[in-house]
Amino acid sequence: MTEKEKQQAGELYNSNDRQLLAERVAAKKLCAEYNVIPYNDYQKKERLLDRLIALRGENTWIEANFFCDYGYNIVMGNNFYSNHNLVILDCAEVVFGDNVFIGPNCGFYAAGHPEDFATRNQGLEYAKPIKVGSNVWIGGNVCVMPGVTIGDNTVIGAGSVVTEDIPSGVVAAGNPCKVIRPVKVSDTPAPAPSSENAEKPVQPVEKKTVQVKKREIRIEEIKK
């Protein structure tokens, strides 16, 4: 198996492998380019995200700065918003559902390292996928650890370190993050978003047509 195949299979792999290093360099160059695009150049931001991220839905907005390892392991649903300084270490797949809102300075870390220092010092690491459901709000300064799943309709409090799965429909917070209570459901319908009260800028959205093909190519490579 190649080191990339080991990585995608969740086995220990050498992150300094030449192929993986080249792919990280390519992704980080795109991140650097994204982070200096003028704020209101919406179309350029859209085009660059199409090159960087494997699959994303409509209405994606990521405030600069944004950093990731590979990009091709990231899937974002419709209406994805992240505030400044989002970090996604996508050594394994990191999937977000629809209507996900993320506060500033949040990290999603699919990468992990062995506890045994002798193994760790060899440059070996592992990766476990992260999944975030739909209608999830994640407060600022949250860290999500390898292998975690966060259910639909859930709120993660600011400053949390999410080390284990969090179910749907709850408010959870803390280090380590624990369920506090069920989400309070309002009887009053939420107001329709407008340009005056929207939480993120309004920008033109282009039809996405190439990401699925890009993702199929990656999966075929893994199967070889």
Q: How far apart are CA 141 and CA 10, in angstroms?
A: 27
- Token look-up 């700065």 returns 65
Q: How far apart are CA 92 and CA 8, in angstroms?
A: 6
Q: Which of 127, 129, 163 is nearest to 144 (CA)?
A: 163
Sorted by sequence, the CB contacts under 8 Å of residue 102 that are 6+ apart come out as 81, 82, 83, 86, 138, 142
Catalytically active residues are 113
Sorted by sequence, the CB contacts under 8 Å of residue 52 that are 6+ apart come out as 27, 30, 31, 34, 68, 71
Give the 3-state secondary structure of 48-74: HHHHHCCEECCCEEECCCEEECCCCCE
Asked whether 140 and 123 are in contact (CB, 8 A), the reply is no
Asked whether 124 and 104 are in contact (CB, 8 A), the reply is no
Asked whether 65 and 80 are in contact (CB, 8 A), the reply is no
Cis peptide upstream of residue 176 (ω within 30 degrees of 0) = yes
Distance of alpha carbon 205 from its chain centroid, rounded? Answer: 20
